[in-house]
C-alpha cells in the first residue's frame, strides 16, 4: 500500500490499494475483498464492522453503504476518481448548478445559483420557487428522482414562480458546472464601523485563490468585524480550511496548533498536528461571527472548532451538521478501475483537545435561513441577526421567513451540496 497525501477533510489522502490475486476470481470479487480488508484496517470504527461476505454485494458502493457503522457514520461512501478529481481539483461537477430547500409546507425554493449555470444566465436566483419538473410537482420524496442521474445531457423542463409571482418555464441540460465557491462578498459601513461579510460554499482547491482575493479586499477596507456565512458549506479540503482559519486569526509563526489528527488504534503512527500559517491578508479581529445551518459540515465545523481556543467565536442561525470526522480516499492501482473508496478514517481535535461534536455545534443566536431574501441584504434574517448581535441597528428584518431544510444528494454529491 502506497500513501499519497492530497490533504482533504472530507477526502484527505489517496492511498493505493494493490491486489496480488491474479487467479480466476472476477475483478468485482477482488475489488470487494480489497475494500472490505481496507475497512478493517483504516476505518475509524473498524472494531464495530459486521462480519460479512464481501462478494455478496454487487459492487464496493453497496458494500460500504451496508457495513458502515450508522450511527454515527452517515458519511462513508464510494465514488469514482474522475468525479472526485473534477470537484476537488477543478471545482467542477455534472449538474444544473443550483441549491434548493423545502419549506415546512413542502414548497421547493432555490437557495443559491452558480454563475456558470444555465439558470444564472436565465435570471433564476435565490428565492425562486420550483413548482414543477417535467410537469410533476416536486416533493421531498420524489425530488432527487425527478432531477435524474448525474450525467451530462440529462434534460429537464422546470416551472418556476418568481418572487414577484410570475410563472415561467425553462428547459435546462445537465453539464459541467464551474463552481464559484465564494457566492458573494461585501463590506458594510455603519457609522464608520466597517463589517466584512462573505458567503463561502465549499473548500476545494479553487477556494484558496478566491479567499485570498476577498480577504485582500477586507484588509484594504480595514474591516472592524467579520461575518463568515457558512450556511451551505458542506466541507472539503483541510488545507483550505486551515487557510481560512489563518486569514481569520493572524499568527506570526507556524507554531500555533490548528488541529490534531486522531486515527484508530491501528493507525496511531499517522496522528499528527497541523498549524495556522502566517498570511499577509490575515485580519486582526477580536471576534468572528459565523452563520450556520445543519448543512454547515466537516471542514466548516473544523474552522469554527479550531478557532475557539484563540478568538471569540459566535454562531448565528441553527446548529451545525455534526461531522467531527474526516475521510481518506483509496484508489486501486489498476487504471481500468475507477472506484474510489472513501471511509471515515480520523477525527480532528482543536488545541484544547475538543472535537466530538456529533450532535452539531450549538448556536449563540437562533435565526431561520431567509431563503426569500438575497445574500447580503441586511434585512435577510440570519445576516440581520448577526448585525444585531454586533450591536448594529438596521432596518427591520424580513417578515416572510419560514423554516426550511436544504436538500442534497448522497455520497460525493452530499459534499458538493448542489444539484
**Rounded to 5 degrees, what are φ and ψ at 342?**
-130, 75
pLDDT on residue 396? 58
- Integer Cα distance of 110 and 372 in angstroms: 9
Asked whether the predicted pLDDT for residue 365 surpasses 50, the reply is yes
Strand ranges (DSSP E) for 238-311? 257-263, 273-275, 287-292
Residue 264 near residue 44, CB atoms below 8 Å? yes
Tens of pLDDT, residue by residue over 47-75, are 999 999 999 999 999 999 999 999 999 99
Q: Which CATH superfamily is domain 93-178 in?
A: PDZ domain (2.30.42.10)
Give the integer Cα–Cα distance in Å for 197 and 394.
15
Say whether pLDDT at 322 is over 60.
yes
The whole model's pTM is what?
Answer: 0.92
**Rounded Cα gap, residues 275 and 404, in angstroms:** 36
Q: Which three cell numbers stand for residue 403?
A: 423554516
What local confidence, expressed as pLDDT, does residue 198 receive?
Answer: 99
DSSP assignment letter at 224: S
182-324+347-398 CATH choice from 3.30.70.20, 3.90.226.10, 3.40.50.2300, 3.30.420.40: 3.90.226.10
Mean pLDDT of 126-150: 97
- For the cut 80, the answer to whether the pLDDT of residue 150 exceeds it is yes
Cell of 140: 421531498
Rounded-to-integer distance, Cα 257 and Cα 246, Å: 11
- Percentage of residues of the chain with pLDDT beyond 70: 91
SS3 152: coil
Q: Which of 4-18, 229-243, 315-329 has the lowest mean pLDDT?
A: 4-18
Whole-Å CA distances, 139 to 63, 103, 143, 165, 242 = 29, 10, 5, 20, 38
Distance CA 161, CA 144 (A): 20
CA distance linking residue 118 with residue 139, whole number of Å: 23
Contact partners, residue 342, CB within 8 Å, separation at least 6: 10, 11, 76, 77, 78, 79, 84, 327, 328, 329, 330, 411, 412
Which residues, listed in sequence order, are joined to residue 413 by a DSSP beta bridge? Answer: none
Q: Residue 261: how many CA atoms within 13 Å on its side-chain side?
A: 25
In the chain, count H helices and then E strands: 10, 23
Cell numbers found for residue 130: 420550483
Tell me if 117 sits within 8 A of 97, measured CB to CB. Answer: yes
Map out the domains of the chain as residue ranges: 2-89, 93-178, 182-324+347-398
Q: Are 150 and 409 in contact (CB under 8 A)?
A: yes
How far apart (Å, rounded) are the C-alpha atoms in residues 208 and 292?
21
Q: For helices 60-67 and 27-42, what crossing angle results, to 10°? A: 30
Which pLDDT belongs to residue 25?
52
Amino acid at each position: 500500500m502506497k500513501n499519497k497525501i492530497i490533504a482533504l477533510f472530507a477526502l484527505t489522502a489517496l492511498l493505493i490499494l494493490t491486489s496480488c490475486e491474479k487467479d480466476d476470481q472476477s475483478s468485482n470479487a477482488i475489488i470487494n475483498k480489497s475494500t472490505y480488508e481496507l475497512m478493517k484496517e483504516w476505518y475509524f470504527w473498524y472494531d464495530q464492522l459486521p462480519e460479512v461476505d464481501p462478494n455478496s454485494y454487487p459492487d464496493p458502493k453497496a458494500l460500504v453503504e451496508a457495513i458502515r457503522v450508522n450511527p454515527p457514520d452517515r458519511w462513508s461512501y464510494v465514488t469514482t476518481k474522475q468525479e472526485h478529481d473534477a470537484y476537488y481539483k477543478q471545482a467542477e461537477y455534472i449538474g444544473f448548478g443550483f441549491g434548493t430547500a423545502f419549506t415546512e409546507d413542502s414548497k421547493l425554493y432555490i437557495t443559491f445559483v452558480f454563475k456558470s449555470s444555465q439558470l444564472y444566465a436565465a435570471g433564476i436566483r435565490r428565492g425562486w420557487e420550483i413548482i414543477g419538473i417535467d410537469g410533476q410537482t416536486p416533493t421531498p420524496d420524489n425530488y432527487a428522482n425527478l432531477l435524474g442521474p448525474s450525467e451530462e445531457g440529462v434534460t429537464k423542463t422546470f416551472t418556476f414562480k418568481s418572487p414577484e409571482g410570475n410563472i415561467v418555464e425553462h428547459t435546462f441540460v445537465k453539464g459541467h458546472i464551474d463552481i464559484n465557491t465564494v457566492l458573494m462578498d461585501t463590506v458594510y459601513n455603519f457609522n464608520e464601523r466597517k463589517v466584512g461579510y462573505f458567503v463561502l460554499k465549499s473548500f476545494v482547491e479553487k477556494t484558496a485563490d478566491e479567499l485570498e482575493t476577498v480577504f485582500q479586499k477586507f484588509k484594504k477596507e480595514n474591516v472592524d468585524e467579520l461575518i463568515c456565512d457558512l450556511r451551505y458549506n458542506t466541507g472539503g479540503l483541510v488545507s483550505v480550511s486551515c487557510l481560512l482559519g489563518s486569514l481569520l486569526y493572524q499568527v506570526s509563526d507556524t507554531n500555533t496548533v490548528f488541529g490534531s489528527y486522531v486515527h484508530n488504534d491501528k493507525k496511531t503512527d499517522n496522528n499528527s498536528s497541523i498549524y495556522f500559517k502566517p498570511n499577509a491578508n490575515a485580519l486582526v479581529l477580536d471576534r468572528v461571527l459565523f452563520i450556520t445551518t445543519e448543512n454547515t459540515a466537516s471542514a466548516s465545523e473544523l474552522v469554527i472548532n479550531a478557532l475557539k481556543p484563540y478568538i471569540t467565536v459566535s454562531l448565528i442561525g441553527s446548529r451545525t451538521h455534526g461531522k467531527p470526522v474526516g475521510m481518506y480516499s483509496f484508489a486501486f492501482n489498476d487504471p481500468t478501475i475507477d472506484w474510489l473508496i472513501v471511509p471515515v478514517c480520523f477525527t480532528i481535535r482543536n488545541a484544547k483537545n475538543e472535537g466530538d461534536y456529533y450532535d452539531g455545534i450549538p448556536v449563540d443566536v437562533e435565526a431561520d435561513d431567509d431563503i426569500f431574501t438575497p445574500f447580503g441584504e441586511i434585512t435577510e434574517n440570519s445576516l440581520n441577526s448577526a448585525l444585531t448581535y454586533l450591536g448594529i441597528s438596521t432596518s427591520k428584518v424580513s417578515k416572510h421567513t419560514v423554516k426550511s431544510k436544504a436538500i442534497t444528494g448522497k455520497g460525493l454529491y452530499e459534499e458538493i451540496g448542489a444539484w
